[in-house]
Each structure stands twice: as structure tokens, then as C-alpha cells.
Structure 1
């Protein structure tokens, strides 16, 4: 039975992916720079293979970031205090989204908009579209068949 990737390995891998995409570098190009196959880069990015310290140093040099960059926002490895219920970091979904090509594209485009009024209109538009999408996916909405 396969063991699930460690949350920190997944986080580090997602940060590698995010920085690679920000630099507009393919998995193949990163692999070439590191002497690896693109499949190995994929495994690192998914967290299925753990990245060793020396390899992480190589990756940080290739992607022009300090090694600490890959741990920023990492899940806390300490046991949760309190009643035993731990919530996922509220920023994790942002990291996950920005690790996708869509997220980076949207973020770059939005960052180019300098007018605060236009930014607000974009946010309002996206919020409205998201609400409409949620309503459209609700059971019974859009069904035309009478039962």
C-alpha cells in the first residue's frame, strides 16, 4: 500500500512548481539544469519523492530563490493545541491556486491593472461569476424535466 506524501514534501514541491512556472521554465528545462528527467521533477513537485538537502540547494540556485523560500507557509509540523481539531492553514488554498498555471496567469494579469476602480470591478465581476457558477451547479437548478 502506497504511503500518502508528507504535507511538507507536498508544500515544498508546490513551491518548486510555482517558482518554476513564474520563471516560465518547463519541467524538462529544470530537469536538464539539475541532471534529472522531467518525470523526476514531476515527482518532486507532487511531493511523491522527497527532495534532499543538496538537491534543494541546486533547485534554489536554478530558480534564483533561497532554500527557505520553499518552506514559506509550510504546514506546521507541531501537534495542534486546543481541542484536537486542526484547521488547514487559511493561506494554503492561495498557495495551491498560485501553483497552477491558471492562478499565475490570473495573478499576473490582475497585477498589471493599476487603477483601483478597475481592480474593484474585476473583483466584483469574478465574484458574480463564481456565485452564478455555484447556483448553476446546485441540484435541481437548470433542470427542465418535471418530476
Structure 2
């Protein structure tokens, strides 16, 4: 049975990897494991050890704490519906594209999105 913390950490690994445009194979090679193990981490099927999480964090250029950001207490997560809007490939591609837009245009696009969402 998956533990809520393992699922959350796995989602954060996937999120950061996608933000960097890195494949599972590239991350696995950098950490020295098989890509199937990255798949298992990202789905929460396998628990990430502390030393492996350290290696993944270094490879993805984040602190270990990044993987626990926005973590609710485990009891609350177990019964909560999956509200991770960044879990779809389309959403991640949108965030990556948004990040590539120059600052001024990004601000304008954000304002437009805010207006459209209020309509």
C-alpha cells in the first residue's frame, strides 16, 4: 500500500524533473539507477531512501526540503482527493512554456488569465 508521504515526494520529483525538461532516463543515469526505479519513486510505489533523495535533490538542483513542500499531515492526505493540477503532462508543458516567456509579457499573460478565470 502506498504511503501518502511517498506519493507526495514522488509527485515533487516528477514535477521538478519535468520543469527541467529531464527524462526519467536522464535522472536515473545521473543518480546511478535504472529508470524503472525513478518510475516507482514518482508513483509512490517505492519509498526513496534518504541518501537517494539527497542524490536526486542534488541532480535536480533543489534542497531535500523541496520534496516536502506543501505537504499536509499524512492523515489528511490519505483521505484527500488528488488535487495536484501539475500532475498532467499538459499542465507541466504549460508551466514550462510560461516560464520561458519574458517577464513583462508573462505579467500581462498572468493578468489576462486572472481576468478570464473571473469571467
1:36 Cα offset (Å): 1.1
* Residues 127 and 36 of structure 1, relative CA distance in 2, 3 Å threshold: farther
Matched, 1:34 2:31: yes
Q: Distance in 2 between matches of 1:21 and 1:47?
A: 17
Gaps of 5+ in 2: none
* Bigger fraction of residues in helix: 2
Q: Distance in 1 between matches of 2:34 and 2:56?
A: 14
Whether the 8 Å CA contact 1:15–1:99 is kept in 2: the answer is: no
Give me the CA root mean square deviation. 2.6
Q: Distance in 1 between matches of 2:116 and 2:47?
A: 40
Q: Which has the larger radius of gyration?
A: 1
Q: Which has the higher contact order (CA 8 A, sep 6+)?
A: 2
Count the aligned residue pairs. Answer: 113
1:109 Cα offset (Å): 3.8
Whether the 8 Å CA contact 1:60–1:66 is kept in 2: the answer is: yes
Show the counterpart of 2:107.
Answer: 114
Whether the 8 Å CA contact 1:33–1:62 is kept in 2: the answer is: yes
Gaps of 5+ in 1: 81-85, 129-147
* Residues 29 and 127 of structure 1, relative CA distance in 2, 3 Å threshold: farther
1:110 Cα offset (Å): 4.2
TM-score, reference length from structure 1:
0.65
